[in-house]
Structure formats: C-alpha cells, structure tokens
Amino acid sequence: MTSSGSGRNVLVRPPDNQESRCGGGAHTAAPQAARCAQPEGASMSSLDYTYEHIDDVIDRSNMLTKEIDPARTMLLVLDMQKACVTPGGAMYIESVAGAPEGKDTVSVVSRVVDACRDKGIPIVWSMWGLRPDGKDAGYADVKWGLVGELDNFPGAWGNGGDELDDALKPDGDEPVIRKHRFSSFYGTALTEYMRRAGADTLVIAGVSTGNCVITTAIDGANQDFKIITLADSNAAIPATLDNQPDGYGQHWEALRNIQANHGDVWLSTEFLQAIGA
C-alpha cells in the first residue's frame, strides 16, 4: 500500500496469482508474510489466526475497493456493546475456530476510531437492542425461545449489556444509532448520514459477523455503497458445534459471503496503512 501523489491514499494490490498482501493469495499460503500485518507490538491473542491465515481461508482475489479516499469514506462502529465484547457479558463472544474473541476486537476498533478522527473520516456508531416488552422484536423472541421473557434478556435496552464497552466513547458530533434490527441501515438514518457526508464507502468495524455485520453489508451493497469490513474487528457468537475446525463457523462463512458478493474483507492494519495512519 502506498500513498499516491494526488492526495488520495491508495491500496496497491499485486495482480492475481502473485504474492498477496497478507498471505500467498487465495490458494498459496505464506503465513510469514501475513505476520507483518499484525499491529506493532502485538502479543499472542485470538487475532493471530486472522493475521496469519486470512488469505488461506478467504479468497480476496477480486477486490471492489482498491483505494481509500478519506473524503468519500465513513466508519461505522457496529454494536461494540458490553453484552458481547466485554468479559463477563451475558452474550460474550469467545474465540472459536480461529475467530477473534470479543475483548480482542476492542483495541482494534479503538485504533481505527482514533485514526479516522485524525484523518477527518466521519464516524457513525450503532447499538442494537430490543424493547423489554417485545413490541419491536418481530419474530426474534419466538426464534430465540424468549416469548414473554425479553424483560430479562441481556439484549434488551436497560439491562446493562446494551451499553458500549467502556474503552469506546463517541465524540459529541458522531451520531449514535439505536436500532432494533441487525442491519444498521434498516429503519435508521445511516443512508442519510452517508449521503450528507458525500461518502460512497462504508468501513465496518464491530460485531457480530454472522448477524449485524453481514446484514449491514448486504443492505449497503444493495444501495451501491462500497462496503469494507475489517476482519480483525469482527467476531461472531459461535454456533454450538463441537470441534469446529479453524477457518470454519459462522464468522468465517459470513466473511467469505461478504467477500464473494457484497463487499471486501480487509484487516484493520491494511486500512490504517491505506489512509496513512
């Protein structure tokens, strides 16, 4: 990745079938090359598999977005709430099959937020929750076996899990969306925020990959926005299968689906380098 003379920060990719940014491309493993994508000074964490193997498990040979223009980019901090990303949260996301653990995504998102503020990239935050009386739940209470019990559900507003992790604080001019559906576009002003900002690219940092990340990516792509999700900031509540092999499960399947159909999967380190942070 290099910075162009035009003032735009450009992501430069090698041609297909040559050495990729973080591995050896979709079909050639080069984990020692991927290791350099980790944040400087990083220690062993649940993110290691992502940094070392992203190009082994996701075919990133066809990328939609090849450059980042900060003037046309918006960051969405997606549902970084205590229930899922803060240790002890009632829906805390453990690392399964090489996917990131909830707490390890917090520092990634924090670095991206700081860099976007520094570069003047506008930021929107979203938070997901349901009414304790279930009036906005649709079929969710039925599907989750919680009919008549949402008042005690950690994903209901006011039960503590709905709050943002303490390490993440929106600035006063950064809109915060409260939503009752997984997609951050559905029933919200996110499209209007993007149009007003002149943004055609939405960068997603947050959770959960199998629910809110992929539905937001689909809804954004359906409006012809360019979608980038940052894989080391994403995590998914794991399925209940035992002995899930690394690189499989709903986190990885959602990322593969996004890359194949709805946008691009980057690492936060790639994004930060592309904006010169």
Which residues are paired to 227 by β-bridges? 202
Please name which of 181, 218, 196 lies closest in space to residue 124, comparing C-alpha atoms: 196
Distance CA 69, CA 78 (A): 21
DSSP code at position 262: I
- In the three-class reduction of DSSP (H, G, I as helix; E, B as strand; rest coil), residue 172 is classed as coil
The pLDDT, as a whole number, for residue 20 is: 42
| Residue 246 predicted with pLDDT over 70 | yes
pTM metric for this prediction: 0.87
| Residue 24 predicted with pLDDT over 80 | no
Distance CA 104, CA 85 (A): 8
The pLDDT, as a whole number, for residue 245 is: 85
Q: How confident is the model at residue 34 (pLDDT cuts 50, 70, 90)?
A: very low
The overall average pLDDT reported for the chain is: 87
Mean pLDDT of 99-105: 97
Instruction: Tell me the CA distances in angstroms from 232 to 112, 208, 252, 257, 263, one per residue in order.
Output: 11, 12, 11, 16, 16
Q: How confident is the model at residue 75 (pLDDT cuts 50, 70, 90)?
A: very high
Report whether 219 contacts 157 (CB < 8 A). no
